[in-house]
């Protein structure tokens, strides 16, 4: 009797995962939400995560026991919009300062310029030409010199030239005296001791741009950086454009750590995935999105690059008092996702057949991708202001070892002797 009771209690537990797969008669389909996917490295195409989510959602809609629902998107101004607004505000303050300086209202001009410089810092990711920022510092220097504050004027001019030691300042042409000052300060900036800058991002592999020059993928150690304030920006694989300013001191190393802002549950989840971590904060963020969508299940994951293929690590989240997370079979396909449609179709079939029993249980914390964990990005180096050469431009070892010899002039060509052209015959 005890055996039959134990068997009776065990059968429902064994069949529970199959309820989703087969569907109970008359039972409503389970609601599932496909959450935004992350990229684990900068070599993942920018559109791949969103494209993969859309393609997988399409295939899952064919599973009768599932109702695919959408997660509510957080309302708010996009970071790109905020950056563009800050850039417009910075430019407006600079124009205002020029007008005030022309009226010899130097104090008001200084206030406008300092406000503009603050806005430029906020707009660094949208700044098309670092020369704008350099010119704003040069204008502040001129205003300070106009009021007899030479030491502060010198510091502002050094800040301007640190952004481009070899760049000509348009304002220097307005005064012979200021032109000589600029030339003297430029020599000092070019000959002064320099520092270094360590640039990191999550995920790694984002192209790092410093003072308008793309120097290479993160993590990156930038050598020979002039002392002073510098503007940096990069774009993460998920599309976020980040940027700001960083102060570099002579003989010291400054550091930039770029990571997407985490303002809501969606961005917190993507940030955790991009850091290659399945942890409690991630599950909390996923749970918030599942509840907001009034769903019972969620799919989340991340893309990484392995050779000429994309690897897709995908997880199934089942809500409950103690949520369950399972790692689904890893998929791989081409970077253009031409092969992904069939892979997603097969995955949808597996979910239909096995339900919430598909895959392996995940222990938290755990890496998203074991492959990415084993192949951590290597730190590379770059020199300030020098863009890396393309592989096709690199000289070969033979070319580097063998000095080029001067070209030997060709001997004069002798006329042909004793040969006549034969007529063409049909």
Question: What is the DSSP annotation of 315-360?
Answer: EEEE-SSS-EEEEPPPEEE-TT-TTHHHHHHHHHHHHHHHGGGSSE
Query: What is the C-alpha separation between 347 and 356, in angstroms, rounded?
Result: 13
For tokens 């906020």, the residue is 122
User: How confident is the model at residue 377, as a pLDDT?
Assistant: 83
User: How confident is the model at residue 370, as a pLDDT?
Assistant: 85
> Which residues make beta-bridge pairs with 247?
229
Query: What is the C-alpha separation between 15 and 25, in angstroms, rounded?
Result: 15
Tell me the pLDDT tens digit for each residue of 254-300. 999 998 887 799 999 999 999 999 999 999 999 999 999 999 999 99
Strand duo 30-34 + 66-69: pairing? parallel
Class in CATH terms, 26-74+263-367: alpha beta
Positions in the chain whose pLDDT score sits under 50: 1-19, 391-411, 413, 416-422, 424-426
What residue spans of 192-321 are helical by DSSP H? 265-274, 280-292
| Helices and strands (H and E) in the chain: how many | 12, 16
Burial 408-424 (b: 16+ CB within 10 A, else e): eeeeeeeeeeeeeeeee
Query: What is the C-alpha separation between 57 and 205, in angstroms, rounded?
Result: 28
Token couple for 402: 């063998």
Cis peptide before 219 (omega within 30 of 0): yes
C-alpha distances in Å from residue 298, one per residue of 15, 54, 87, 218, 344: 21, 14, 39, 32, 16
Topology of the domain covering 78-192: 1.25.40
Query: What is the C-alpha separation between 378 and 375, in angstroms, rounded?
Result: 9
Backbone angles phi, psi at 147, to 5 degrees: -100, 10
Q: 215, 196 in Cβ contact below 8 A? A: no
Query: What is the C-alpha separation between 416 and 420, in angstroms, rounded?
Result: 9
Query: What is the C-alpha separation between 289 and 100, in angstroms, rounded?
Result: 51
Query: What is the C-alpha separation between 371 and 331, in angstroms, rounded?
Result: 13
For tokens 């063998």, the residue is 402
Query: What is the C-alpha separation between 253 and 141, in angstroms, rounded?
Result: 27
Prediction pTM value: 0.76
C-alpha gyration radius of the chain: 31
Residue 76 DSSP label: S
Q: Find the helix or strand (DSSP H, E) in which 311 lies.
A: strand 309-318
Q: Which residues have a Cβ under 8 Å from the Cβ of 277 and sit 6 or more positions away?
A: 365, 366, 367, 368
Q: Which residues have a Cβ under 8 Å from the Cβ of 137 and sit 6 or more positions away?
A: 117, 156, 157, 159, 160, 163
What count of other Cβ atoms lies within 10 Å of the Cβ of residue 114? 14
Sheet of strand 253-259: strand arrangement: 253-259, 194-202, 220-226, 380-383
One DSSP character per residue, 145-160 reads HHTT-HHHHHHHHHHH
Cis peptide before 365 (omega within 30 of 0): yes
Q: Is the dihedral of CA 305, 309, 310, 312 positive or negative?
A: negative
Domain definitions of the chain by residue range: 26-74+263-367, 78-192, 193-259+377-398
Residue 80, classed as helix, strand or coil, is: helix
What count of other Cβ atoms lies within 10 Å of the Cβ of residue 212? 19
Query: Thinking of the domain 193-259+377-398, which architecture would CATH place it in?
Result: Sandwich (2.60)
From the list 215, 208, 244, the residue with the least C-alpha distance to 133 is 244
Q: Report angle CA 203, 205, 206 to the nearest 5 degrees.
A: 85
């Amino acid at each position: 009797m005890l055996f039959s009771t134990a068997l009776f209690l065990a059968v429902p537990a064994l069949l529970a995962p199959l309820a989703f797969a087969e569907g109970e008669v008359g039972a409503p389909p389970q609601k599932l939400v496909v959450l935004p996917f992350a990229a684990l490295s900068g070599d993942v195409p920018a559109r791949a995560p969103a494209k993969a989510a859309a393609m997988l959602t399409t295939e899952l809609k064919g599973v009768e026991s599932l109702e695919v629902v959408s997660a509510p998107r957080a309302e708010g101004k996009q970071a790109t919009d905020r950056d563009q607004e800050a850039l417009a505000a910075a430019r407006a303050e600079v124009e205002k300062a020029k007008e005030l300086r022309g009226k010899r209202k130097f104090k008001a001009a200084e206030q406008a310029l300092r406000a503009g410089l603050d806005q430029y810092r906020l707009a660094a990711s949208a700044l098309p030409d670092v020369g704008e920022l350099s010119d704003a510092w040069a204008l502040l220097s001129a205003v300070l010199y106009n009021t007899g504050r030479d030491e502060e004027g010198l510091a502002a001019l050094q800040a301007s030239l640190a952004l481009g030691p070899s760049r000509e300042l348009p304002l220097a042409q307005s005064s012979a005296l200021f032109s000589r000052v600029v030339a003297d300060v430029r020599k000092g900036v070019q000959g002064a001791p320099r520092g270094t800058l360590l640039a990191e991002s999550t995920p790694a592999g984002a192209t790092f741009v410093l003072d308008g020059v793309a120097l290479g993928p993160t993590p990156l150690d930038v050598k020979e950086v002039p002392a002073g304030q510098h503007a940096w920006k990069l774009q993460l694989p998920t599309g976020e454009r980040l940027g700001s300013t960083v102060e570099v001191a002579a003989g010291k190393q400054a550091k930039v750590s770029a990571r997407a802002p985490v303002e809501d549950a969606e961005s917190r989840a993507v940030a955790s995935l991009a850091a290659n971590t399945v942890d409690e904060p991630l599950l909390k963020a996923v749970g918030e999105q599942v509840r907001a969508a009034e769903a019972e299940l969620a799919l989340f994951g991340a893309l990484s690059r392995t050779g000429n293929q994309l690897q897709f690590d995908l997880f199934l989240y089942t809500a409950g008092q103690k949520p369950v997370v399972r790692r689904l079979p890893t998929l791989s396909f081409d970077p253009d996702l031409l092969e992904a449609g069939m892979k997603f179709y097969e995955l949808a079939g597996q979910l239909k057949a096995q339900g919430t029993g598909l895959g392996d249980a995940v222990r938290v914390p755990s890496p998203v991708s074991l492959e990415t964990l084993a192949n951590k990005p290597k730190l590379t180096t770059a020199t300030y202001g020098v863009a890396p050469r393309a592989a096709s431009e690199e000289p070969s070892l033979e070319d580097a070892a063998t000095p080029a010899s001067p070209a030997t002039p060709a001997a004069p060509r002798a006329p042909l002797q004793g040969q006549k052209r034969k007529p063409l015959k049909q």
